[in-house]
Amino acid sequence: MKRVNNNFSRFYALIKALPGNPEELKESLVKSFTGGRTASLRAMTGDEYCRMCDSLDSSRPASLSEGEFTAEIKRQRSAVLTRMQKLGIDTSDWDAVDNFCLNTRIAGKVFRALSIEELKRLIPKLEAIARKPRPVAYPVAPTVPIEQAPAWSLDVYSRFPGAQIVN
């Protein structure tokens, strides 16, 4: 198994353009591309490293400068998070956001790994989910312990022929 060379400049140049803590992002990316085997860049195989860098490189369109890319991805992420919030997802909890996005019907990826195009495709899905009527939650009748139940008189039972009094 061939290991990666010690020059990780391509990776760090790509990760610098992404918002968030670079160290945490590096760890989560490496774990996801190695199947959880390691969190170290040095322990990655050459193929894993190339696939990870290619994936990061493809998430930024060549037509956008770094500043334009950052502004556009922030705008799209904000639009998606706003719609998620309307669906009742706690957007202050990143684990909840990631779990929602990991559903294959939604995105199939963690939120921070979504590209601009994927975020744009996600907005109509979320709006369709919001339009879908939700089932009505009927109130449940409160249960009262027998000791606190009202005492029924026998005349109530006389209105129901065949009713039996059970203790």
74 and 120 inside one domain? yes
103 and 78 inside one domain? yes
Check residue 85 and give its pLDDT.
94
Tell me how far apart the alpha carbons of residues 119 and 112 are, in angstroms, rounded to a whole number. 10
Distance of CA 107 to the CA centre of its chain: 9
Q: Strand pairing partners for 25?
A: none
Evaluate if pTM is beyond 0.75.
no
Check residue 63 and give its pLDDT.
62
72 and 124 inside one domain? yes
89 and 41 inside one domain? no
Q: 28: domain range?
A: 9-58
Check residue 133 and give its pLDDT.
85
Check residue 81 and give its pLDDT.
95
- pLDDT means over runs of 10, the chain (167 residues): 69 77 85 86 88 74 71 92 93 91 89 89 94 76 57 57 60
52 and 73 inside one domain? no
Distance of CA 57 to the CA centre of its chain: 23
Check residue 121 and give its pLDDT.
93
